[in-house]
Amino acid sequence: MRERRWETIAPLTFGQILAVGERLAALGLKPAAPANDVICYVEEWTVESPEDFDELDAWATEDVTLIHIREGWRGDFFLLSGSYHTVYQRHQDVGTYCSISHPWRIREPLRCHESRSMLWLGFRHAHSFVRVRLQTTEVISPGETRGDAQRGRWLDERRAAFLEAITTLELPVETAIDHSQVTLRPSDPAVPFFCSWPDAFGPCQFEYNSSDAFEFLVPASRLAATFAPEPAGVRAYLTGFNETALNEFAAFEPTPRLAYRCSVHCPLDDLPEIRSIIETEGRLYATLCEFQTQELVPDGEDASAIVGIMGTEAGFHLEVRLNRAPLPEEHMEHWLERLLGHEVSYAPLPAFV
């Protein structure tokens, strides 16, 4: 689900983070205590080699994914994805996963959606998939009514953008507008087909699966070609592979930058140590407190809120993520600043990382 997100402006010490937890507890909420176990999500941890992941051996980890990052790439997506697929076939097993992302461009000029969109070509054990995601110019989450005056434009643009991708990929998928929402459905209802990332106007992402491991190599390359001649940021995501396989994947030219993402189970108090390990480019996220906003603003719309901790090289920040804004837009920052005791700014997460 698309979320509304605000973030503290100035870096905070970990002591200041814990003080906000005490502040929330004084309001009757239930934040995590320093000794409580939390799930810490690590992203963009740049490493020299896969073996560097051993630095997190002191904690239980899961969902470990090694990412190959190539910026300013101008190569042939068909050849690159074919190379990953060849190595994948040699090492595939239950639990292995490989996908390659590449931007694509919507040709028709739009007002509510960015022209730069993203596709993923992926392989999971016995099948392949192609995933398409759109990016909007603003986040209007499910249930919010801020965009109702422009709903017709939002729906027409969303449907046209998806139809452009579906046509280029030659997928048997039908688009429609039903109950003021864009809907997508495959012509064959037996096909594994998933829509996700919904906002107020319908899904922003779909995924089409096939038992044919080769089916989407050429169609995905056609969609990737719409981004030419602009250089692309290309990523490959590798999960569940042993060291031998990872070394084979890393042999493709040009040599990629390596980064890890994973989940770490740890006491809240261990976040500073984990942050020091994943510096300088890594980020961590953990939940400090979850609550329903009507506990604090009974006259507002009820929303699900998460006060989270974000750690970077610069220090710690707090984020607040909500499934919708419980108050009018002009009151949100002031309310959140009173809640946290720190200045915040609106900061939606990037759509494609």
C-alpha span between 325 and 323 (Å, rounded)? 7
Could you give the CA distance from residue 259 to residue 21 in angstroms, rounded to a whole number?
A: 31
| Count of beta carbons in the 10 Å neighbourhood of residue 48 | 8
Are β-strands 97-105 and 116-124 bridged in parallel, bridged antiparallel, or unpaired?
A: antiparallel
Which contiguous run of DSSP H or E holds residue 158?
Answer: helix 151-169
What integer pLDDT is reported at residue 153 of this predicted model?
97
pLDDT for residue 189: 94
Q: Sign of dihedral through CA atoms 339, 343, 344, 345?
A: positive
**Euclidean distance between CA atoms 252 and 88, whole angstroms:** 13
Low-confidence spans in the chain with pLDDT less than 70: 353
pLDDT of residue 353: 64
Taking only the tens place, the pLDDT of each residue in 4-35 is 999 999 999 999 999 999 999 999 999 999 99
Task: Please report the sign of the dihedral spanned by the C-alpha atoms of residue 309, residue 310, residue 315, residue 318.
Answer: negative
- The tokens of 100 are what? 């390659």
pLDDT at 1 (0 to 100): 75
Within a 10 A sphere around the Cβ of 219, how many other Cβ atoms?
A: 18
Distance CA 52, CA 75 (A): 28
Burial of 203-216, coded b for 16+ CB within 10 Å and e otherwise, reads bbbbbbbeeebebb
- Residue of 351, 348, 327, 353 lying closest to 6 (CA atoms): 348
Rounded-to-integer distance, Cα 340 and Cα 319, Å: 10
Structure tokens at 20: 């906000």
Q: Which pLDDT value is given to residue 32?
A: 98
Q: Give the DSSP per-residue string, 319-330.
A: EEEESS-SS-HH
How high is the pLDDT of residue 108?
Answer: 86
Closest alpha carbon to 197 in 216, 186, 213, 182: 182
Q: Is 122 exposed, middle or buried (0-12, 13-18, 19+ CB in 10 A)?
A: buried
Element (H, E) at 338: helix 329-340
Helix, strand or coil for residue 25? Answer: helix
Residue 113 backbone dihedrals phi, psi, to 5 degrees: -130, 145
Judge contact between 97 and 74, C-beta under 8 A: no
DSSP 8-state symbol, 342: S
Q: Which two tokens stand for residue 234?
A: 């290309």
Separation of alpha carbons 235 and 69, rounded Å: 5
Q: How far is it, in rounded angstroms, from Cα 38 to Cα 268?
A: 6
Structure tokens at 343: 């200045």
Measured CA distances, 14 to 21, 226, 275, 317, 346 (Å): 11, 45, 11, 9, 22
